[in-house]
Structures are given as C-alpha cells and as structure tokens.
Structure 1
Amino acid sequence: MRSRVAAVGSGVFFAIAPGTVAGVVPWSLTGWRTGAAPLPLRVAGAVLVIAGAAVLLHAFARFVHEGLGTPAPVAPTAHLVVGGLYRYVRNPMYLAVVTTILGQALLLGRPVLLAYAGLIAATTATFVHLYEEPTLRAQFGTEYDAYREAVPGWWPRRVRDH
C-alpha cells in the first residue's frame, strides 16, 4: 500500500516540479519554435532530452520502490535512496532536469534555454546545499554522512567492476 501512495504522490510531484521546470517554462520561453541550429546540434539535443527524461523517470522510480516515498519535501522517503543511479551521483534528478533543458536548447537552437539551464543549475545547487543536505543529515544521520562521503554530489563517479 505504501508503494502505491508513493507512486501516486511521485506522479503528482513529477507533473508539478520537473513538468514545470523542464516543460512549461521552456515552452513559455520558446513556444517550442525552433531557431537556427545545425542538424548535428539538434540530434545531440534530442539525445540529451531523451537521456535526461530517462534518468528522471529512473530517479522517481527509485524514490517509490526503494525509498517508499516521494522526492517532494512534503512526503519524503522512509529510506535513504542509494541504489540505481544514486550509487554514482547523489543528485541524478537535478542533473537530469538540467540535461533535459540543455537538450531542448540544442534541439530548438534557442540560447535563452542555455541561460535558463544555468539559472536552474545554480538554484538547485543552492537548494541542495542550504536545505536538502541538512534535512537528509537530520533524517538519516550517519547513514547519510557515509553516503555523502562515498558518492559525489554533482559529477558521477566512474563505474567500477566489483
């Protein structure tokens, strides 16, 4: 039952947060109208959009199945999420959103989205530093400290054979 509630809550939060940040706002800035962009940049942009969306969906699924909660601060996880892509970087969700926006910038040939991606990156880094990390430390204690020590926040560590 908890997984079902977490899935519904995560779905709602997905539509509200990343749906707005990586969907509604870029649309309002561009109307999805394309600018002048060479084909290779448009293809690279499409790849980034697809990759960003896939990582975002993966991250939300981890919150539901592993964490038994949502990424929303009002309905946090019961367990620290450390599996999947979270083994390699602590913030794949934020990186996925920025990647998706950068992909849209290339795909549409719209520099305004490059500036917007920079703004989102700075905003999320500040949010993580000032709110999320202290909150996770308070909620999960030494488990979070060990995770934070082992896994980089923003630049994924290389996959190693075990």
Structure 2
Amino acid sequence: MLEKRIPPLLLVLIIGAAMWGISAPTSPVPMDDTFRRVAAIVIFVVGALFPVLGVVAFLRARTTVDPRTPEASSALVRSGIYRYSRNPMYVGFALWLLAWSVFLGPGWELLGVVFFVLYMNHFQIVPEERALRALFGEEFRAYEQQVRRWL
C-alpha cells in the first residue's frame, strides 16, 4: 500500500523530474520568456511561504512535522496558515510544481500538478485525516467543516 510511504517532498522531486522529461520533447506554449520566468519565480516564492508558515505553526505547537506519522501528533494546529488550509505544506508543494511547469513552458507538464494533487488526496491526506479523527475526534471534525482541505 502506498499510504504515507513516499515523503511528500520526495514526491515533488520525482514529479518535477517527470515534468522535465515530458517538457524536453514537446513544444512549449508560446509565451514571452521574461514573463514566463518572472511568473515562475513569483509562484515559487508564494508557494514557499505555505510550507514555511506550516512548519512554524507546527513547531510553535510542539507537534510532529513528519507527514508519515500523523498519529504522533500531540496537538491539532488550527492557528496561523492552518486557519485557511488544512494542508498548507501540500499547497506550497503544488505551487512549486506549478512554478516549475510555468518555467518549463506550460503545456503537458501541468499534468504533474494534477497528479500530485490527486495522489496526495488519496495516499497522504485521507490517511492523515483518518489518524487525526482518531486522535482528536470532534475537534478535528469541526475543523474539517470550517477549513478547506487545500484552499
């Protein structure tokens, strides 16, 4: 079973490499190179804020940051960036992949972002949420009702 087996950051690197491989033989969508590069940098920087703010919130709550062991969580973090997304680190990683796609010359590479979101929902987030429901019960259920999974 793939549930929680592949660390999300490693998955980003694997998908990013696949996106690069897809981009090599294909023609990019016509776009000004300067605009494409600036857009990629802006998306990447915005994407970097999400995981940084997520880690900071976890460290402040003194709970685990390791997504492979949600059952080791000692606190349900609902503050900071977690008021807007239940998975800000994954939002940031998806934005990094989007930035990479834009940098490569958006086209078929966008499928990498879609694959990442679908994979994360099924193999990472659903098991995490199951563990958090078991740990925090109604508190987590209420949080699920108040805050979206992604954005």
In which range does the TM-score fall when normalised by the shorter chain? Answer: 0.7 to 0.9
The aligned amino acid for 1:63 is F
The aligned amino acid for 2:59 is V
- Give the fraction of aligned pairs with identical amino acids, expressed as a percent: 27
1:55 corresponds in structure 2 to: 50
1:44 corresponds in structure 2 to: 39
Structure 1 length-normalised TM: 0.72
Do the aligned partners of residues 154 and 74 (structure 1) sit closer, same or farther apart at CA in structure 2, a change above 3 Å counting? closer
Post-superposition offset of 1:118 = 0.7
**Where does structure 1 differ by over 4 angstroms across 4 or more consecutive aligned residues?**
33-37
Q: Is the 8 A contact 1:67 1:81 kept in 2?
A: no
**2: distance between equivalents of 1:24 and 1:121?**
14
In the alignment, structure 2 segments of 5+ residues that lack a partner are: 1-5
Q: Is the 8 A contact 2:84 2:147 kept in 1?
A: yes
**2: distance between equivalents of 1:55 and 1:125?**
17
1:6 corresponds in structure 2 to: none
1:72 corresponds in structure 2 to: 67
1:1-162 superposed matches below 5 A: 17-23=7-13, 25-27=15-17, 29-30=19-20, 36=28, 37-38=31-32, 39-74=34-69, 76-109=72-105, 111-127=107-123, 130-155=126-151
When the two structures are aligned, how many residues end up with a matched partner?
139
The aligned amino acid for 2:54 is A
Q: CA RMSD in A?
A: 2.5
Do the aligned partners of residues 25 and 120 (structure 1) sit closer, same or farther apart at CA in structure 2, a change above 3 Å counting? closer
The aligned amino acid for 1:95 is V
Do the aligned partners of residues 93 and 46 (structure 1) sit closer, same or farther apart at CA in structure 2, a change above 3 Å counting? same
Structure 2 length-normalised TM: 0.77
Deviations 1:92-127 (A, max 9, x none): 111111111001110221534311111001111223
